[in-house]
Amino acid sequence: MKNLKKILESILFIAVSVSGLFAAGNASVASTAKKSTIVYTIKGNAEERYYTMMDKPVKALGYRLPDPRKHVNQVYKEQYGSTTLEVLSFMTIVNDKKVKPLLEIDPKLAGFNPFNLVIYKHEGKDETVISHLTASAIIDMLGITDQKVITEYTKQMEELDALVAKTFPSAVVSHGTYEGAVENTMMHYEITFDRPEDLDDYIDEIQEKVDDTFTEKGYIMAGFFDYKQGKPDLLPSYDAFWTFSLCHFPYSYSVFDNEGAMPEAAVFAPCTMYMYIKKDTNTLVIGMPRLANWNRFFTMNNQKRADFLNKLDKDIPATFIEIGAKEIK
């Protein structure tokens, strides 16, 4: 009996130890997952409450809405004849007063500022979804390492999320996740130019050239934001700093709408392209997140979407070269 008792105790010890190892292993796997998006799921149609929040409440936090795009699904229906969505609106926002000091430290932050606080609702589903990229995912994709920028920007996002949670207290909150390192996430280009006596002459010229060249290739400049706003004392390290919001409507319809619609990926839309000229220099710096990031966070669920994404991820760099830019590795 004593021997049997010892054997049973040994088996129990081994079982507990192995169980502990598996638990530790699972915890390790779980700990590697990083949050890509925060998702608020609200019962019913929350569109009007969302628009109310996006007026005075969000502006009270310091956010601007440079180029809001409401009822994108209706435009899809008018242009392509059908939609699977009851609601889809792109509300690009930027807290420029709080972002500007951070751009002085790392201008790459403009790669997702403005960003989209998207709302969507599938037809036939009794729920509305509001979502945006997390601060940590944005920082990861942009390759930002400065701790002050990380801390301050994360705080901004927390304030925004507190507002959404307050506005929709019954919302079910979840997160998209991703694992591993994100690499080759950004496009970086430069244009060296002959600096004129009046820099505005060059700025007007290059902005028009960028707009015209992308438009000719089927893109839409869905937004524009000037961080300097014509005031020299704003962003003193820069002579110019602006963003374009770039959209390709056939691509967005193919991903966000129709069969197997993926409106959740609209947190990336429209794409933000930033351009700046450091003070007293003759170099225009261009940066933009790659569309490949969409596939890292939201795996394209059919080959047509994946092929379209890959095509644009080649077309956009080629267009930068066409306007005279050189890639910076």
The CATH number assigned to the domain holding 203 equals 3.30.310.70
pLDDT for the residue numbered 159 = 98
SS3 category, 39: strand
Quote the pTM value: 0.89
Look at residue 206 and tell me if it is in a domain: yes
Look at residue 3 and tell me if it is in a domain: no
Look at residue 5 and tell me if it is in a domain: no
**Three-class SS string for 240-266?**
EEEEEEEECHHHHHHHHCCCCCCHHHH
pLDDT for the residue numbered 31 = 57
In the DSSP assignment, the letter for residue 171 is P
Look at residue 59 and tell me if it is in a domain: yes
In terms of Cα–Cα distance, which of 152, 143, 60 is closest to 98?
152
What residues contact 66, with CB distance under 8 A and at least 6 apart?
Answer: 92, 94, 114, 223, 224, 225, 245
Look at residue 189 and tell me if it is in a domain: yes
SS3 category, 191: strand
Q: What is the residue range of 40's domain?
A: 35-327
- Tell me how far apart the alpha carbons of residues 173 and 129 are, in angstroms, rounded to a whole number: 10
pLDDT for the residue numbered 34 = 96
In terms of Cα–Cα distance, which of 182, 199, 219, 209 is closest to 286?
209
Tokens of 40: 């608020």
The count of domains in the chain is 1
Query: Residue 7: left if φ>0, alpha if ψ -120 to 50, beta else—which one?
Result: alpha
What residue type is 181 in one-letter code?
A: A
Look at residue 21 and tell me if it is in a domain: no
Look at residue 51 and tell me if it is in a domain: yes
Encode the chain (329 residues) as per-residue pLDDT tens digits: 444 444 444 443 334 343 443 333 444 444 588 999 999 999 999 999 999 999 999 999 999 999 999 999 999 999 999 999 999 999 999 999 999 999 999 999 999 999 999 999 999 999 999 999 999 999 999 999 999 999 999 999 999 999 999 999 999 999 999 998 889 999 999 999 999 999 999 999 999 999 999 999 999 999 999 999 888 888 999 999 999 999 999 999 999 999 999 999 999 999 999 999 999 999 999 999 999 999 999 999 999 999 999 999 999 999 999 999 999 98
Tokens of 159: 């304030």
Burial class (CB in 10 A: 0-12, 13-18, 19+), 88: buried
Look at residue 27 and tell me if it is in a domain: no
